[in-house]
Structure 1
Amino acid sequence: MTRETPPDLVTGPTRTDRPSRTTARTMLNKVPEVTLYFWIIKILCTTVGETAADYMNDTLGFGLDKTSYVMSAALIIALFFQFRARRYVPGIYWLSVVLISVVGTLISDKLADDLGVPLVITTVLFAVLLAITFAVWYATERTLSIHSIVTGRRETFYWLAILFTFALGTSAGDLFDEKLGVGYWPTVGIVAALIALIAVAHLGLRLNAVLAFWAAYILTRPLGASIGDGMSQPAKNGGFGLGTTGTSFIFLAVILALVIFLSVTKVDRTENQSGDREELDEPDSVTV
């Protein structure tokens, strides 16, 4: 669904600080359009982030430290190619999201499980780090819009924010799900309801598009993690008993199929048929 949104300093940069047309055209579409496919794959990635970390840590016996080293190295390689690309490439982009989801989970788990930092503290810590990232991003670029990721600096802010959203979502989800005893599937229902409220507020009450996007983005992390736990954990713990191996491979297979589909159809590209976008960094509509 497409909704017109009024231009302001949050949804798009000012005329004086926007990148030049030459720069924007040479770095076009570093992120996908926000469509239904985007949210489906994002939730699948968050689920894999939870189950894949557990799979490598526990099932394969790598341990938390070795798993963290391996996945961090893989993330650095993926982001190297992501930053090298001059436009949005589905395979590279979504591989980076999967890996940053795993790394964000591992960071939260390292602090909570190995170092004994309370989940309340880690949740507050990552919330503060995310807020600082947004503040510096906006102070520097005068926009937080994902439609304006057309420079290397904006892309750096973008991926840093994503890392903290995954770490924050993991800590907040674990706090709500485990420490408060809510359970996996009740957590799924509650978080899904919150995301639905954000969508209604955006579509019906004109909640700022950028604020709505990032709020929903954060909430998809505990949503996906709870789905992953609910599918992988044994029935005695309220799960489906598929295990981390089965759950991880099922979701990875679905992600791969969707990424191949998007690579072929290009339905999540933001450029028009001629290959150029009329307003590269200040769109007049947001797709949700």
Structure 2
Amino acid sequence: MDTNARAHDPVASPSVPHLLNKVPEVTLYFWIIKILCTTVGETFSDYLNSTLGLGLNLTAVIMTAILAAVLVAQFRARRYVPAIYWTAVVLVSVVGTLVSDKLADDFGISLVTTTVLFAVLLAGTFALWFAKERTLSIHSITTRRREGFYWAAILFTFALGTSAGDLFAERLNLGYWPTAGIVAVLIAVIAVSHLAVRSKGVLAFWLAYILTRPLGASMGDGMSQAPKDGGFGLGTTGTSLIYLAAILGLVVFLSVSGVDRDDEGDSVPVLEDEEQPEPALATES
């Protein structure tokens, strides 16, 4: 490698301490918890907003403040810590849902407009991320700047998934479970495309990440809403508790087992001008 390139690399430079990779390996556990988090984003925001009667504004303020505090802890950590990371994802899911709902419900902005808006913001985030870092790989979140791009993208995927999912459900009026089934099929098509014909891993990963939002939201609504509306009638409280308990159990398992952490790979500084592997939909254990 060119020594001059190494000298100007912010990660390789001895004056700038590198971080260990700050995100989990993309395993089956990753996708299970991600879907659970999206469901909680739907049901818990409804629980705070409607069941507890906090209202959309107060709920948004409280959850945004808590998210900011958790993100501070996430950025200060020097490696991937399951409890901190997945708490942040749950909170981003809630806040992303609230942002979309706020624009649609309080400001009267159409779901078509918010869907386009969040798609543009997400595309802009990716463009700036790649322009600055020359990679969108989640296997190289080893600098503060890359981590900032990563969490901005995560927020916009949740907001985009909320708006697009609501638009899809509103226009087609298929019901919760048929909608969940259709989105699950789309995710399966992306996975098969990636695994069978080796489509671009970065593109496949982020498309699947966006689609898990309407999948989880439809599942959450299907469990929480009354039977007369096509749901199981568990309510937002019961559904939120079930999914939060499942997330907690899996996070404890990951914290103890470390199966979603690549210690060997994480222990090596990631250099800016090295080609990084693209994220897969799932990695082999």
Mark the CA change 1:90 to 1:25 in structure 2 (over 3 Å): closer, same or farther. Answer: farther
Cα distance between partner residues in 2 of 1:87 and 1:38: 17
1:152-196 residue CA offsets vs partner (Å, 9 max, x unmatched):
000000000000000000000111113431211111111101101
1:111 is the counterpart of 2:103: yes
Distance in 2 between residues matched to 1:267 and 1:49, nearest whole Å: 25
Contact 2:19 2:269 in 1 (8 A): no
Following superposition, the deviation at residue 23 of structure 1 comes to 8.3
* Corresponding residue of 1:242: 234
Shift of 1:24: 9.2
> Which of the residues 44, 64, 69 maps onto 2:61?
69
2:212 maps to 220
1:209-260: CA deviations, max 9, x gaps?
1111001000000000110011101111111110000000000000000000
1:271: Cα distance to partner?
2.0
Q: Is 1:261 aligned to 2:249, yes or no?
A: no
Choose the corresponding residue for 1:206, options 187, 198, 216. Answer: 198
TM-score by length of structure 1 reads 0.90
Match of 1:187 in 2: 179
Work out the number of aligned pairs and report it.
Answer: 274
Q: Which amino acid aligns with 2:37?
A: C
Unmatched segments (≥5 aa) in structure 1: 1-13
The alpha carbon displacement at 1:284 in A equals 4.9
Q: Describe the shift of the 1:149–1:279 C-alpha distance in structure 2 as closer, same or farther (beyond 3 A).
A: closer
RMSD: 2.1
For 1:285 and 1:18, the matched residues in 2 are separated by 21
Which consecutive residues of structure 2, in runs of 5 or more, have no partner in the other structure? none
- Which portions of structure 1, spanning 4 or more consecutive aligned residues, are displaced by more than 6 angstroms? 278-281
1:277–1:286 CA distance, 2 compared to 1 (3 A) = farther
In structure 2, the partner of 1:80 is 72
Q: Given residue 45 of structure 1, which amino acid in structure 2 is its aligned partner? A: C
Which of 9, 17, 31 is matched with 1:39 structurally? Answer: 31
AA partner of residue 58 (structure 2): K
The alpha-carbon distance between structure 1 residues 87 and 67, as it changes in their structure 2 partners (threshold 3 A), is same
User: What TM-score do the two structures reach when normalised by structure 2?
Assistant: 0.91
Whether the 8 Å contact between 1:148 and 1:282 is mirrored in structure 2 is: no
1:138 alignment partner in structure 2: 130
Partners of 1:23 and 1:47 in 2: CA distance: 43
1:52 to 25, 44, 48: 44
Separation in structure 1 between the aligned mates of residue 181 and residue 151 of structure 2, nearest angstrom: 28
Q: 1:17 to 1:216 in 2, by over 3 A?
A: farther
